[in-house]
């Protein structure tokens, strides 16, 4: 691993005051990244360091977690994102992370809006360890543009699209149903960010991820009275349609095991605090 210090820049707010910084350092994730054949079939470790620029005054005064960043959840979300995507370049991985960090927060996973983010990605095994390449980028929320599309189940936000993949947020309205038929070529990995969704007809805890292989149909139901969000990585990109599709029956769908990306304590709290039907 690179021993170089991570030195994000100083960023000012609109009043000329330095913004506060939350850092997450040393998150190591096995990821498909690279242009060579061996790198396209075997994951290799990436080290991720991020700096989040925000104003923490409100959180410091109120003690409310929703007015700052839940870095325990965020670490799991970034791990999921890097594991689920298939990158050719470090530049693509850095852009995907920045676009996710700077996306507007949603009601079912509240946090304050970040003003900017610095991201460094290190690829320690790329050259056999003799030379360690890394990339550091800085992006502001003002330069981010997110497309959004209305669908039969709610809305889809396009967070980032790269070569052969796309990163989306599926915003499932109260009573909405996401119904994805079996596809012979497409794969999707999805992380449930909200609390109260059903996957394949069964309750699913916040922070649970599913990898839906090719040829496996799947479905989410939102029986709650509030919007629920799913972070989706699709390979290839999603073909978005605003019109309603054929709704899959909840019975008989193949069960796919979920993987927890939040801590046990966080998952237990999510189950306890899950909203009931609207």
**pLDDT tens digits along 6-40:** 999 999 999 999 999 999 999 999 998 888 777 78
Q: How many CA atoms lie within 13 A of 188 on its CB side?
A: 25
Give pLDDT tens digits along the chain (278 positions).
445 789 999 999 999 999 999 999 999 999 988 887 777 877 789 999 999 999 999 999 999 998 999 999 999 999 999 999 999 899 999 999 999 999 999 888 888 999 999 999 999 888 777 888 999 999 999 999 999 999 999 999 999 999 889 999 999 999 999 998 887 778 999 999 988 999 999 999 999 999 998 888 999 999 999 999 999 999 988 876 544 456 777 677 888 899 999 987 776 665 555 555 55
Q: pLDDT per residue over 153-174, tens digit each?
A: 999 999 999 988 999 999 999 9
Q: Which fold has domain 147-245+258-266?
A: Jelly Rolls (2.60.120)
Ranges of CATH 3.30.1130.10 domains, the chain: 20-140
DSSP state of 47: E
Q: Which fold has domain 20-140?
A: GTP Cyclohydrolase I, domain 2 (3.30.1130)
Instruction: Specify the pTM.
Output: 0.90
Cβ neighbours of residue 206 under 8 Å, at least 6 residues apart? 109, 192, 193, 194, 195, 262, 266, 267, 270, 274
Helix (H, G, I), strand (E, B) or coil at 168: strand
Cβ neighbours of residue 217 under 8 Å, at least 6 residues apart? 180, 181, 182, 248, 253, 254
Classify residue 206 as exposed, middle or buried by CB count within 10 Å of its CB (0-12, 13-18, 19+). Answer: buried
Strand partners, 122: 47, 134
Other beta carbons within 10 angstroms of residue 265's beta carbon come to 9
Helix (H, G, I), strand (E, B) or coil at 264: helix
Do 228 and 188 touch, CB atoms closer than 8 A?
no
């Amino acid at each position: 691993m690179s021993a170089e210090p991570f030195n994000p820049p100083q960023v000012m707010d609109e009043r000329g005051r330095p913004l506060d910084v939350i850092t997450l350092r040393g998150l190591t994730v096995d990821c498909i990244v690279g242009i060579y054949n061996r790198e396209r079939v075997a994951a290799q470790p990436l080290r991720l360091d991020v700096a989040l620029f925000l104003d923490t005054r409100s959180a410091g005064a109120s003690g409310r977690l929703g007015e700052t960043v839940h870095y325990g959840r965020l670490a799991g979300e970034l791990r999921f994102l890097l594991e689920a995507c298939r990158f050719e370049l470090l530049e693509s991985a850095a852009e995907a992370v920045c676009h996710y960090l700077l996306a507007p927060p949603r009601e079912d996973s509240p946090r304050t809006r970040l003003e900017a983010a610095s991201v460094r990605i290190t690829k320690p095994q790329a050259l056999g360890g003799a030379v360690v390449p890394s990339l550091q980028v800085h992006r502001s929320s003002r330069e981010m543009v997110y497309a959004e599309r209305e669908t039969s189940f709610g809305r889809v936000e396009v967070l980032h699209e790269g070569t052969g993949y796309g990163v989306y947020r599926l915003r499932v309205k109260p009573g909405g149903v996401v119904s994805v038929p079996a596809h012979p070529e497409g794969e999707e990995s999805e992380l449930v960010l909200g609390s109260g969704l059903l996957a394949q007809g069964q309750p699913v805890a916040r922070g649970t991820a599913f990898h839906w292989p090719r040829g496996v149909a799947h479905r989410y139901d939102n029986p709650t009275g509030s919007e629920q969000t799913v972070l989706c990585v699709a390979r290839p990109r999603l073909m978005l349609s605003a019109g309603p599709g054929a709704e899959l029956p909840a019975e008989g769908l193949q069960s796919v095991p979920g993987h927890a990306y939040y801590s046990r304590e966080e998952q237990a709290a999510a189950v306890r605090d899950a909203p009931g039907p609207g």
